[in-house]
A and B are shown apart, each in its own frame.
Chain A
Amino acid sequence: MMTTTLSAQQVSFVRDGNTILDNATLTLSSGELVGLIGPNGAGKSSLLRMMAGLQRPDSGQIYLSSKSHPRTLLNDFSGRERAQILAYLPQQETPAWPLHVEHLVGLGRAPWHKPMSGKSNRDKQAIERALEITELQSLRHRIVTSLSGGELQRTLLARVFAGEPQIILADEPIAALDPYHQLHMMELLAEHTQQGGSVLAALHDLSLAARFCSRLVLLHHGKIVADGQPIDVLTTQNLEQVYGISAYVDCRDDGVVIIPRKRVV
């Protein structure tokens, strides 16, 4: 897979007088699983939506570089071209209709559809592959509204995989899931990066973020206050200043364990 980089350069965004993002600069390269962390309202969702091209920043630029497009403004891509490279998984996506699992997954092929033609072989293969890696083959004829939260989230991720994107931007993909499904989702995202793709995911579970992410980006009041290896970002000092908590941080061989103890007032 060719190397693809998505980078936000000094992005600022103000809504109704509130600064949502303040001069945020962030680069996401191939093979990286980056966790975007920070308290509620820190600007994680806004940053993701801007990097997905769904919202323009007030100032600053977002660049998408690939082999065929060296350092191009994200806005210069057509919606279709952008969607072929970059996929976005919003927070709590709820399907409006009780579609079949395989039909919903097929929606992810939209950026590749040609006008006035049906599903191509490549579409079918991509959908099959997405069902396979997310272990949804046995559920393909199920109705999405009858799925459990974990199954639904996996279906939505399969929809993203079906589009064969190189970059995945996911907004709290593991919120409201049980630990088993949280691990499953994180493993699937990690697998995507091992194959050369890249993932930027907003996360609230700091231990899981530390365990799976190669890099963590800590947002606070719209500013990026730390960007680096999990062990360097998740310091007791950062947790106290940004999250307002005192936490027990333990670095072990198999990762960092964080146990929040009490609020700091």
Chain B
Amino acid sequence: MYSEVNLQIKISFPRVVIFLVIAIVAAAALALNSGAADIPVLQSFADIWHGEQSLGATILGQIRIPRLLLAMIVGATLGMAGAAMQGLLRNPLADPGVLGVTSGAAFGAVCVLYFGAAATAWYWLPSAAIIGALLSLVLVYFLAGLHSSMLALILAGVAMSAITGALIAVALNFAPSLYAMQEIVFWLMGSLANRHWDHVVIALPLAIIGWLLMLSRSRFLDALSLGEESAGSLGFNTHRERGILLFGIAIGVGACVAVSGSIGFIGLIVPHLLRPFVGYRPGRLMFASALGGALLLVLADILVRQFDSARELKLGVVTSLLGGPFFLLLILKTRSRWA
């Protein structure tokens, strides 16, 4: 819980949004310019426009643009889902994975990798991850009871995460080959390398559904600042609203994990960073966090590509490596505010 006087930054909401959008555009330009091959980006754009088959056009159109779009989609979804979860739990330490959704998605994907189905068709992996995410949410609800308190849901989520985590360990333990094990471990680290338009096509519609479901509940999250009882007395059906919000989180995060593996810390840090800029209002924070998440992940993905080595540095590793200490710093700086 917050106490004492808090950091408040006086800046209007439209300005925050404009600033973030400008930053995203700049980061996107930088992202299109970075990569192993040295291509003339503007010329390549012109080639794509004129339908010419140049090397630049292929790299830009088939590799860099889908990768950039995925970074934006995944970052935005994780940022928004983090803000939604923190608002829902009324706790700034929550992240999208609290209710076992992330680990459920990861487990679904690991199953596919384990049985080697991932190699047969590209869509197996994403589908399994999304099913895993939704299934774990359903199980959490089933475990906790449909009209349960938030605390019961969290406990069930923690149990669910532990179980799926253990099952992933089992899959690693009995991995059919070292190669399969490596594939699972690398996938779990999270990356946006070697993704193509198919991934965008599967992630985007689901992410959009998730965004709309989450954003449509922003008034509920605002009211929830006062507590569940008060939100109920203000006319919100808390169980229904919560269900819709969690479904949105599950579908969005499931789609993200499906295409990128698990990328940590974005959902935790971004809302935390942006909260003072939106007057701590949970509804607005969701939208701002989506933009902030997209920005941060595009930047992190640029950083990943600066290390030109045979073994790619995984995106999820970078976000955790940077996110962990940064989060620690933030806590140290603001700890006097926490009662």
Contacts and interface: CB of A to CB of B under 8 A. Distances in A.
Main secondary structure of the interface of B (DSSP, over half): loop
A83 B235 contact: yes
Contact of A93 (B227, B236, B282): B227
Contacts of A242: none
Interface stretch (B66-74, B189-197, B217-225, B300-308): B217-225
Interface string B253-282: 000000000000000000000010001111
B4 A54 contact: no
Nearest to A82: B235
A143 B2 CA distance: 11
How many residues of B sit at the interface, in one of the four size bands? 20 to 34
Interface stretch (A84-92, A178-186, A199-207, A221-229): A84-92
B6 A143 contact: yes
Interface in B203-228: 219, 222-227
Interface stretch (A19-27, A94-102, A212-220): A94-102
Interface size class of A (residues with CB under 8 A): 35 or more
B279 A103 contact: yes
Contacts, number: 91
B8 A98 contact: yes
A59 interface: no
Contacts of A84: 235
B6 A145 contact: yes
A46 B236 CA distance: 19
Contacts of B282: 97
A79 B229 contact: no
B225 A99 contact: yes
A87 B219 CA distance: 17
Given A93-B226, A110-B223, 11 more contacts: A79-B236, A79-B237, A87-B233, A90-B230, A90-B233, A96-B1, A96-B90, A98-B2, A99-B281, A145-B6, A146-B5
Interface of B: 1-6, 8, 90-91, 219, 222-227, 229-230, 232-237, 275, 279-282
